[in-house]
Amino acid sequence: MCRLTLCLLLLVGVSVGVSVGVSVGAHLTPSAHHIQRRQAAPRGADISTSCLRCICEARQCDWQQGCQGGACGGYRITEPYFNHSNITTEVPLYGDRTFETCAVDPKCAITVVRLYMRALATDCDENGIIDCDDMMLTHYYGIEGCIGVRDYAEFTNDWARYSACIGSE
């Protein structure tokens, strides 16, 4: 289950001007889930609300932990990740935010992840499709580090939590 703050933000459709691909409260059948999870998303496409939620859930989505070991907030955003999102130039509302203040604010952090994925989502498993699995791998391993790591990633606790979450969508 997602934390209340994150769920509320996702339900109201926090975004940077891009509509969300899944209706609020929609219940997907297993076959519809499979299609939604595997649907091709070209670079530049927006990340779905369910994918955002599950990426956060992979690391237990703890917004109270602050910054530890160079990673902050429920998404465990790092400073390079924050900088690559270009949030301070892309979204005037967040122009004065620092990495630390944005990454621990759920609304700002969600916007960072959306912008990062819009610009840098990578086909990590090299199957010609950028789906939520690829976005999860891109988020955790980076745009170059995610290539070829899926077999390893599937044995981590983060992947188990992500898979349980995305499987329940």
Is residue 21 domain-resident?
A: no
Give the amino acid at 67. Answer: C
How many domains in the chain?
A: 1
Is residue 127 domain-resident?
A: yes
Is residue 158 domain-resident?
A: yes
d(CA 8, CA 105): 13
- Beta carbons of 140 and 161 less than 8 angstroms apart: no
Q: Where in 13-115 does DSSP place strands (E)?
A: 67-68, 71-72, 77-78
Residue 152, CB-side half-sphere exposure with 13 Å CA sphere: 9
- For residue 54, what are the domain limits? 4-8+45-167
- pLDDT averaged over the chain? 80
d(CA 138, CA 135): 5
Give the amino acid at 56. Answer: C
pLDDT band at 42 (very low <50, low <70, confident <90, very high): low
- 139-166 residue pLDDT tens: 999 988 999 898 889 999 999 999 999 9
- 116-147 residue pLDDT tens: 999 999 999 999 999 999 999 999 999 889 99
* Residue-level pLDDT at 24: 26
Q: CATH number for the domain including 59?
A: 1.10.530.10
User: Token pair of 88, please?
Assistant: 């301070």
